[in-house]
């Protein structure tokens, strides 16, 4: 079933706006963890 464009935009806006700050914080945490673990792996390879 295809929704009208207006409803699709509304739905998309809801998906983004819902728990917006939680999404941003979890993205930051994910990037920080990835960088840290990746750094550790690279350091391990060098040693």
Which residues bind to another protein, rule: CB under 8 A?
19, 22-23, 25-27, 29-31, 33-34, 38
CB-CB contact of 11 with 3 (8 Å): yes
Which residues have a Cβ under 8 Å from the Cβ of 11 and sit 6 or more positions away? 3
Residue tagged 């060098």 (tokens): 46
* Residue closer to another protein (CB basis): 12 or 30: 30
Which is nearer to another protein, 5 or 43 (by Cβ)? 43
Q: Which CB, 9 or 27, lies closer to another protein? A: 27
CB of 16 vs another protein, minimal distance in Å: 13
């Amino acid at each position: 079933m295809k929704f009208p464009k207006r409803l699709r935009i509304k739905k998309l806006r809801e998906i983004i706006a819902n728990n917006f700050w939680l999404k941003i914080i979890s993205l930051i945490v994910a990037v920080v963890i990835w960088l840290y673990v990746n750094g550790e792996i690279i350091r391990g390879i060098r040693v």
